[in-house]
Amino acid sequence: MQSRQFQKLIWPLAIAETILWAALYYSFPALLVQWEQEFGWSKTGLTGAFTLAVLTSAAMAPVAGRLIDRGLGTKVFCGSAVAGAMLLVLLTQVTQLWQFYLVWFGIGITLAGCLYEPCFAILTRTLGSRARRGITIVSLMAGLAGTVSFPAAFYLSSTFGWRGAVLVFAAVIIVIAVPLMWWAASRAEQIGGAASVPSSRNAREPMRIARKPAFWALALGLAMISMNTGIMITHTIPLLTERGFARETAILAISMIGPMQVIGRTMVMGIEHRVPSLVIAISCQFAMSAAALSLMGATALPVLLASFVFLQGLGNG
């Protein structure tokens, strides 16, 4: 593929993924406080819906992958984004906690079809050996989704209420993200139309790998990182405001994690050929553990809030 074609394929996907992460994923922690104040539901009850969405997304990811492998990448990718936007609209109508859970269960299904995994699967099928560069560009840009979502949600909810903010997020998905996704994914299918079907030997490879203890150790480590990230982005704003920090300060702090993630990913790109992957992975986990300790001590020593932002973003990135 020529460089110009590569850029035309990658940048629309990068913009679309940034919007999707901001609107469908980060909107939950960004609006959590408003939901708690309006509905009076407990923080535990509310965050359970987000946990359900993440678990549902993980469970549905293999289904989305199989559909993409059958040549339905564009339909799965764009259809999931449209469904996610419609569910955001439906979210503005909920009045009961079970309805809130039901909507986020549905959003969890759509996450499996339109976030990183399906996007990267499409790029891998299309670009082959060049997919890594494309995936890097998309993940670097989408790493700023939280930086977009938190301030936008704060401003929009302050001006139009949380329902207005959610409707704006839904509209941005439909008007900007979906057309970009459709154009890029359709182009990817045309370019990768002659891609070979995996052999039966390759099809059995995942099962062979899954029998290795190292696979499960890695899976557990990644699950812990994912859990840490989910807890931090969901609870940082309420935690900081409860401990006396201004809401604007809390939003600034959580928003700056995104740029730190980008820095972290860029650093890994620079050292990955010189430093063993295991060392990088362990260092990231230590950084995120240190970030949690910094957050705990930020009330007594506010400068530790900057340490939390730096370490959490760097480790997660």
Nearest-angstrom CA–CA distance, 125 and 194: 10
3-state SS, one letter per residue, for 258-289? HHHHHHHHHHHHHHCCCCCHHHHHHHHHHHHH
The amino acid that residue 189 corresponds to is E
Structure tokens at 26: 């980060």
Domain 1-197 has CATH 3.30.9.10: no
- Say whether pLDDT at 99 is over 90: yes
pLDDT at 195 over 50: no
Which DSSP string corresponds to the chain?
Answer: --HHHHHHHHHHHHHHHHHHIIIIITHHHHHHHHHHHHH---HHHHHHHHHHHHHHHHHHHHHHHHHIIIIIHHHHHHHHHHHHHHHHHHHTT--SHHHHHHHHHHHHHHHHHHSHHHHHHHHHHHHGGGHHHHHHHHHHHHTTHHHHHHHHHHHHHHHHHHHHHHHHHHHHIIIIIHHHHHHHHHHHHHHTTTPPPPPHHHHHHHHHHHTSHHHHHHHHHHHHHHHHHHHHHHHHHHHHHHTT--HHHHHHHHHTHHHHHHHHHHHHHHHTTTS-HHHHHHHHHHHHHHHHHHHHHTTT-THHHHHHHHHHHHHH-
Nearest CA-CA partner of 131 in 117, 120, 141? 120
- Supply the pLDDT for residue 18: 95
Burial of 3 (0-12, 13-18, 19+ CB in 10 A): exposed
Neighbours of 261 (CB within 10 A): 25
Least confident of 5-19, 32-46, 64-78, 206-220: 206-220
Indicate whether 190 pLDDT > 80.
Answer: no
Q: What mean pLDDT comes out for the span 60-83?
A: 87
Q: Among 50-54, 82-86, 147-151, 197-201, which is the least confidently predicted range?
A: 197-201
| DSSP symbols for 141-153 | HHTTHHHHHHHHH
Given pLDDT bands bounded at 50, 70 and 90, which one contains residue 38? very high
Q: Which of 14-18, 47-51, 102-106, 243-247 has the lowest mean pLDDT?
A: 243-247
pLDDT of residue 123: 85
Q: Is the pLDDT of residue 148 over 70?
A: yes
Cα–Cα dist 51/218, whole Å: 21
- Please indicate, yes or no, whether the overall pTM of this predicted structure exceeds 0.85: no
- Mean pLDDT for all residues in the chain: 85
The domain ranges of the chain are 1-197, 202-317
State the pLDDT confidence band at 197, using cuts at 50, 70 and 90. very low
Inform me whether the pLDDT recorded for 180 exceeds 50: yes
When pLDDT is averaged across residues 71-83 and rounded to a whole number, the result is 89
Q: Is the pLDDT of residue 207 over 80?
A: no
Residue 25 is predicted with a pLDDT of: 93
Residue 186: the pLDDT is: 81
